[in-house]
Amino acid sequence: NTAANVRIRHICAIGAGYVGGPTAAIIALHNSNVKVTVIDQDERRIKSWRGRHLPIHEPGLERIVRFARDGTNGSMDTISEQHQDLPMGQAQAGSDRNPSRRPNLFFSTACAETIASSDMILLAVNTPTKMHGVGAGRATDMAAIEGAVRDIALHAKPGTLLVEKSTVPCKTGQLIKDVLEAYRPGVVFQILSNPEFLSEGTAVRDLLQPDRVIIGCESTLSGHRAAAALANLYAAWIPRSNIIPTNIWSAELCKLAANAMLAQRISSINSISAVCERTGADVNEVARSIGMDPRIGTQFLKAGFGFGGSCFRKDIASLTYLAESLALPEVASYWQAVLIMNDFQRDRFARNVISRLNNTLRGKKITILGYAFKKNTGDARESPALDVIRILMQEHPHTIAIFDPLCSESDVKRELAVLDDCRGLVQPNGPIEIVTDSYLACADSNAILVLTDWDMFKNTKPATPDKFEATELPQLDGATPANIFRLPHSVARVTKPPSPPQ
Ligand code: NAD
């Protein structure tokens, strides 16, 4: 048993975000004898994790957090009810082993103390694209990783296991070692790479039933022991055959590569949708046909606005930067093309809308239905809506009314503020309105753009193949008829002619 010398009693996750919070909750659920503490510098976020309303929306997460955080006050029956379709034991194992369990999931801002008492630390901090300086726009900003590792170096016990959960450039393990050595010379820490593959909106399901768990370690005896200790935690609910050992660099790279390839499929089908619109081919029919080839498969073949969210763009940017820094410009430009196609798709959509409205938005109201980067999440980071709004704003519309069932006004405002063009525009009497009622948002609108595939915006009518679709949303009966646009279709039917330019 290679894990013989590594006993894990206390795990700490640094970063109480979309990865750190749910991952910690599921590990705690299935390892009731292990204490799990999530730490973050963001006091408000920690307060929410401790309170009634979690800071992130993930179906099924609230009950699991309540159960592990508050003990048997949360009912495990309701958790398994929510995940009835999962194999037996997937959602129940934690409670079955320990019916009168004590709370073992904690949230704290006491970073130093928590790090000091942990046997294993999960690094789940943000790794956005660098905005300024060397590599701006492409390189990964390693500031949060470096800051967290510095805290670990200053406070952690010798021998603590460090697990990279954040998505990082290949060779980050070496950077972590260097920082540790600089602050705690001579003290040995074990570093593992265990990239997270969850998707927002399905995080609980993805964590309960992952396709694979990759654990990269150094090929030394202590490296293998560390990996075995982490594997044992996962083995509480995941079959051993799905836990894959690799070297650290492979583990780091496989996450970037997986995201790049998923995004590439989206850009590929979007490029085909542009050809369809010019030729009369139907992209849905094309996607269906090519998806029936088992070598291609059906997933991620839906033409639309392209990918959004905090991961795909920045991970491809990171991969291109990595390729450049390895003197592989051809590899860099290959992946760069995926981003170019993504931008092209949004640009094409927004310009099509403007063109349908007589090439001017002056005096007009545009409604945006959906602001989250995809359905079932309140995350608005890098949402397609943001890019579309930026282009529309250049045409000086009278109003852009935004409605999303989950994104709060502050989420929308925060993301809009990132756009230089939109700074200060979300003021009372400003052109951008965030509306909490979808009917009001659509009233007197010249065009309704459905930019997130929320079920509530689903259209019951079949889409017209080669054009932007214009039809009434059944859920919006009573709203003023207007042009409704969604990709991959151009306008097929206009229920209200656009107002003349004012
Ligand atoms: P996030 O921004 O939601 O959360 C990161 C948290 O880390 C923030 O709350 C921040 O305050 C905290 N933090 C940063 N530095 C800290 C420090 N030194 N001490 C304590 N707290 C600190 O990010 P996320 O979406 O959870 O992503 C985290 C990582 O996981 C990223 O590398 C991302 O690429 C990767 N990832 C994300 C997803 C996803 O769907 N969001 C999926 C897989 C992997």
pLDDT tens for 311-324 read 999 999 999 999 99
Amino acid identity of residue 221, one-letter, is L
**What's the CA gap between 482 and 171, in Å, rounded?**
52
Nearest atom of ligand 1 to the alpha carbon of 168: 32
Average pLDDT over residues 424-445: 80
In a domain, 42, yes or no: yes
Last residue of a domain, one of 238, 268, 288: 238
Q: Give residue 14 CA to ligand 1 midpoint distance, Å.
A: 8
Note whether 424 and 472 are same-domain residues: yes
Residue 73: the pLDDT is 52
Q: What was the ipTM of the complex prediction?
A: 0.99
In a domain, 467, yes or no: yes
E strand map for 60-159: 105-108, 120-123
**What's the CA gap between 7 and 408, in Å, rounded?**
43
Residue 4: the pLDDT is 53
Q: Give residue 127 CA to ligand 1 midpoint distance, Å.
A: 7
Query: Given ligand 1 and candidates 310, 373, 377, which is best to mutate, with the most ligand atoms within 8 Å of its CB?
Result: 310
Number of C-alpha atoms within 13 angstroms, CB side, residue 19? 20
**What's the CA gap between 64 and 420, in Å, rounded?**
40
Nearest atom of ligand 1 to the alpha carbon of 19: 26
Residue 496: the pLDDT is 38
Side by side, which strands form the sheet with 213-217?
Answer: 105-108, 35-39, 10-14, 120-123, 161-164, 190-193, 213-217, 243-247
Look up 311 and say whether it is catalytic. Answer: yes
Tokens for 32? 């009731």
167 CB within 6 A, ligand 1: yes
207 CB within 6 A, ligand 1: no
- Ranking 60-74, 273-287, 400-414, 463-477 by mean pLDDT, the lowest is 463-477
Note whether 91 and 203 are same-domain residues: yes
Note whether 199 and 261 are same-domain residues: no
21 neighbors 46 (Cβ within 8 angstroms): no
Last residue of a domain, one of 195, 213, 238: 238
**What's the pTM?**
0.87
The SS3 call for residue 89 is coil
- What CATH number is given to the structural domain containing 382? 3.40.50.720
* DSSP collapsed to 3 states, 411-462: HHHHHHHHCHHHCCCCCCCCCEEECCCHHHHHCCCCEEEECCCCHHHCCCCC
Residue 256: the pLDDT is 97
Average pLDDT over residues 299-306: 90
123 CB within 6 A, ligand 1: no
Average pLDDT over residues 283-303: 94
**What's the CA gap between 483 and 493, in Å, rounded?**
8
* Per-residue pLDDT at 278 exceeds 90: no
Kindly report the protein residue whose alpha carbon is nearest to atom 23 of ligand 1: 126
pLDDT tens for 284-293 read 899 999 999 9
- 123 backbone dihedrals φ, ψ, rounded to 5°: -90, 105
pLDDT averaged over every residue in the chain: 86
Give the CA angle between residues 9, 15, 16 to the nearest 5°.
Answer: 90
Note whether 395 and 462 are same-domain residues: yes
* Per-residue pLDDT at 62 exceeds 90: yes
* Per-residue pLDDT at 96 exceeds 70: no
* DSSP collapsed to 3 states, 178-194: HHHHHHCCCCCCEEEEC
83 neighbors 205 (Cβ within 8 angstroms): yes
Residue 423: the pLDDT is 60
- Ranking 37-51, 284-298, 488-502 by mean pLDDT, the lowest is 488-502
422 CB within 6 A, ligand 1: no
157 band by pLDDT with thresholds 50, 70 and 90: very high
In a domain, 98, yes or no: yes
Note whether 322 and 447 are same-domain residues: yes
* Per-residue pLDDT at 263 exceeds 80: yes
Residue 454: the pLDDT is 83
18 CB within 6 A, ligand 1: yes
198 band by pLDDT with thresholds 50, 70 and 90: very high
55 CB within 6 A, ligand 1: no
Note whether 322 and 413 are same-domain residues: yes
485 band by pLDDT with thresholds 50, 70 and 90: low
The domain in which residue 141 lies consists of 10-238
Note whether 126 and 186 are same-domain residues: yes
The alpha carbons of the chain give a radius of gyration, in whole angstroms, of 24
- Ranking 91-105, 110-124, 294-308 by mean pLDDT, the lowest is 91-105
Beta bridge partners of 105: 36
Kindly report the protein residue whose alpha carbon is nearest to atom 37 of ligand 1: 19
In a domain, 83, yes or no: yes
- Ranking 79-88, 106-115, 347-356 by mean pLDDT, the lowest is 79-88
Residue 5: the pLDDT is 67
Note whether 342 and 464 are same-domain residues: yes
pLDDT tens for 406-420 read 998 888 888 888 766
2 band by pLDDT with thresholds 50, 70 and 90: very low
Nearest atom of ligand 1 to the alpha carbon of 203: 40
Nearest atom of ligand 1 to the alpha carbon of 150: 18
| Residue from 311, 407, 422, 442 carrying the catalytic annotation | 311
Query: Sign (positive/negative) of CA torsion 432, 433, 439, 440?
Result: negative
Give the chain's domain count.
Answer: 2
Amino acid identity of residue 434, one-letter, is I
Note whether 361 and 484 are same-domain residues: yes
- 10 backbone dihedrals φ, ψ, rounded to 5°: -135, 125
33 band by pLDDT with thresholds 50, 70 and 90: very high
Residue 200: the pLDDT is 93
In a domain, 4, yes or no: no
Residue 72: the pLDDT is 67
Note whether 184 and 308 are same-domain residues: no
Note whether 286 and 207 are same-domain residues: no
In a domain, 2, yes or no: no
The 8-class DSSP code of residue 129 comes to: B
Last residue of a domain, one of 187, 212, 238: 238
Kindly report the protein residue whose alpha carbon is nearest to atom 18 of ligand 1: 148
pLDDT tens for 117-151 read 999 999 999 999 999 999 999 999 999 999 999 99
* Per-residue pLDDT at 495 exceeds 50: no
Residue 86: the pLDDT is 43
Note whether 213 and 266 are same-domain residues: no
Nearest in space to 15 (alpha carbons), one of 183, 160, 147: 147
E strand map for 225-310: 243-247
